[in-house]
Amino acid sequence: MDRKIEKSMEALIAEVTEYARKELSAARFRHSEGVAEEAARIGAAEGLSVDKCRLAGMLHDIAREYSDERYAELWKRAGIAGKYGQDPFDHVLRHGKAAALIASAKFRIKDTDVLDAVMWHTTGRAGLTKLGQVLFVADYTEPGRTGDHFDRVRTVLARFGLMAAVAEECRLTILYRASKHLIPAEEQTTFAAPADINVYTVETLNWALGELARERGQRG
């Protein structure tokens, strides 16, 4: 990471934390702190740099509460344009992409592992790096998240490991999105399938299941 040549990781994390404190609501900032600490905890168990995991956690939602106008200005400065003037990114993806851009431009972070993890923390993607997996799961299992589905992923993480937790998080997200828009057939005038099941989450699930099957095969 280029920035660590100029400043210590501790100073960089403090700078990002202060930016997040100013940009986010109190609740969103608490969530970010929780994700940073949860990422550090999971990352330590996976043999990763605790500071790097904590940095990714503090970065992941820094653009979460940007207005449409601020997103548009960010895309313009980055030379990114959508068709017909529309936002170039899915609403689910855009705050991760924006956070990665801010990390690179404002904080001069060039570590692709950190930037990729931040960009894909919401949906995941096939081939997530280990840090990406850590942040993806930490965003779901940080202590502020309450509910049976969050507890289930925590249990899977503790019993079966990180890749299994990635798969379970994807599965539960897909089920939730599908049930959220489920309309009884007799009430439909035209067929309408759920529109916001993100393809990247489906791809992440299939990839994670494939990795788990490969690991089982290697163990014999």
Rounded to whole angstroms, how far apart are CA atoms 103 and 120?
14
- pLDDT at 6 (0 to 100): 45
Does pTM top 0.75 for this prediction? yes
Radius of gyration of the chain (CA): 18
Per-residue model confidence as pLDDT tens digits over 6-43: 468 999 999 999 999 999 999 999 999 999 999 999 99
- What confidence tens digit (pLDDT) does each residue in 35-66 have? 999 999 999 999 999 999 999 999 999 999 99
Q: What is the CATH number of the domain that holds 118?
A: 1.10.3210.10
Share of the chain above pLDDT 90, in %: 70
Q: Total domain count for the chain? A: 1
Confidence band, pLDDT 50/70/90 cuts, at residue 188? low
For the chain, counts of helices (H) and of strands (E): 11, 0
pLDDT, averaged across the chain: 89
In whole angstroms, give the CA distance from residue 124 to residue 137. Answer: 9
Structural domain for 136, as ranges: 3-219
Residue 5 has pLDDT above 50, yes or no: no
